[in-house]
Amino acid sequence: MILRVENLSKHYIIKSGAFSKRQVIKAVRDVSFQVMENQSLGLIGESGSGKSTIANLVLRLIPPSGGKIELFEEDVTSLKEEEMRRYRKDIQIIFQYTNDILDPQMTVDELIKEPLKIHNIVKDRELDQEVERLLEQVGLSPSERWKLPGQLSGGQNQRIIIARAIATRARLIVCDEPVSALDVSVQGQILNLLIRLKEELNLSYLFISHDLKVIRHMCESIAVMKNGEIVELGDTFEVLNNPQHEYTKKLIEAIL
């Protein structure tokens, strides 16, 4: 088991003005799911349904309000920051690509070396060879290595982000809308790269998207979210062929 989440909740308490009443936002309510080795679980739901909050909880970037998170068979729900550190290289995240996500001053070479150095993945004298290998693995040409992010396309930059994620030998990659900002033609190429890497590297994905077509292409199972809750969860084929929840039916109708 790679990831198990049980009855996970996240509430935010906000106060908009000095005299206004406290308001509780239930961003995630009592969700449970599992991600198995070399499997992808898709999280789908409209904007604001709690998908990114789940990603942040799983990565332990924010503390949960309730429930349990197990990573690689260990309960990490209340691990402290420094105790979490040993998992940092095992779980990586790939966000929606934006121009500010990669340091514009760093070359591709430096960007890929960064995680290799931080996590001590290879010996110093093997760094160059490792960068070459990773570039090839994500489908970038050797000449791209000395360029800056600004000299590359969105798709090429997303490949750099993927190279950084797999550089640490991650076992679980949380993909939060990884292709939503890319042109449709490029989206397919990046998705196929992620599928190939999953098989080559035995990866598991928690794959977040608002696009059912993307989830259908990528994931063996699917969790449908609405207002912070999982309203339907199951094998992708079964859910799409026999949806139980009205909201799932609406999502399916929209892509027919």
Interface with Mg ion (CB under 5 A): 51-52
Sign of CA dihedral 235, 238, 244, 246: positive
Going by C-alpha positions, the residue among 192, 202, 199, 200 that lies closest to residue 172 is 202
Neighbouring C-beta atoms of residue 240, cutoff 10 Å: 17
Residue 255 interacts, among ligand ADP, Mg ion, none and using kind-specific CB cut-offs from 5 to 8 Å, with none
1 vs 61 by CB, closer to ligand ADP: 61
Residue 27 interacts, among Mg ion, ligand ADP, none and using kind-specific CB cut-offs from 5 to 8 Å, with ligand ADP
Residue 50 interacts, among ligand ADP, Mg ion, none and using kind-specific CB cut-offs from 5 to 8 Å, with ligand ADP
Residues contacting residue 61 through CB under 8 Å, at least 6 positions apart: none
50 vs 149 by CB, closer to Mg ion: 50
| Residues of the shown chain interacting with ligand ADP in the complex, contacts defined by CB under 6 A | 12, 14, 25, 27, 45, 47-53
For residue 75, the minimal CB distance to ligand ADP (Å) is 23
For residue 208, the minimal CB distance to Mg ion (Å) is 7
Burial state string for 36-68 with b = 16 or more CB within 10 A and e = fewer than 16: eeebbbbbbbeeebbbbbbbbbbbbeeebbebe
Q: Are 62 and 11 in contact (CB under 8 A)?
A: no
For residue 151, the minimal CB distance to Mg ion (Å) is 29
For residue 26, the minimal CB distance to ligand ADP (Å) is 8
